[in-house]
Structure 1
Amino acid sequence: MDEDRDSALSQAVLLREEGQAEQARVRLLELAERYPEDAEIAYQTAWAHDVLELEAEAVPFYERALNGSGLSIEDRHGAFLGLGSTYRVLGRYESSAAMFRRGLAEFPGDAALTTFLAMASYNLGESRDAVGSLLKVLAETSGDPRIQSYRRAIGYYADHLDEIV
């Protein structure tokens, strides 16, 4: 265990959480240079860039994080969401959708990944798929009693949007 690494990483994350994202980014870049194979540092570095709206600079760090090993399940999930969203913001819709699908292969049925995939699908001109996916997420996750009372119908119509009875 590298206590210097752990302490420096914790301090950088705390800076980001306290709203000092630029200071966090500088420290994380130093750590990423010192530990180029460290997926956790890469993920935190990507996140710091995203917070500062430096999406293009975040991409290689997200990619490094996902291609490496050692991320917690929660961080791996967050990296899929982060990279997929970043690709989408950059107008890389195909890459975005592919990343969300890759995430869904590891986290089947995940509502957040499905929702973000729906946004990328919309950007790709796949409005029917996007709406269908969102309806399914709504039916499965809404706590609204009225939505729940129509859950079966919403789920059915999510797959049959174009049908006329």
Structure 2
Amino acid sequence: MTIRKYTLLLIGVLSMLYVQAQDHRRVEVGYFDLDDKPDSCYYEFNSKTAAGPVYDCKLILSGADRKERSFTIGVSGKSLVISSCGVGCISTYEWITGMQGEEREAVYKYDKKCDDWLLSSRSVNGKSVKLSAGERRLTIGGEQRCRKKEHIKR
């Protein structure tokens, strides 16, 4: 009877560890848009894309209409962290290990006229990188949706 209990316990523990190892989905809660209600960002590593490894992200805004935004972020590895850096602000942080290892951070701020998050700053290894005019119009998904003075009308 004792061996059976230990066997069942071992199977239970191994099952839990297997499930945890398979679940790479992460969640970050913060004030990603410009209201005072907490929003959620779910993101998960996906290595099976033609463009290379990405994180598939789903942002759920907790306003009255509970909008959902989906986007992908291309990465060099599996080490992306998404966080809130204030109201209307999303920060992405990636570290790359190895001989040519580096840390990359990008900050996106919500633009009400574009109804999207636009790249506002980038840094590599803690040093700020100057943004080109085209980069300042990049959305968090890497698209150039919002043009200077040609904002999307809804």
Instruction: Give the TM-score taking structure 1 as reference length.
Output: 0.25
The structure richer in strand per residue is: 2
Instruction: Give the TM-score taking structure 2 as reference length.
Output: 0.26
The structure richer in helix per residue is: 1
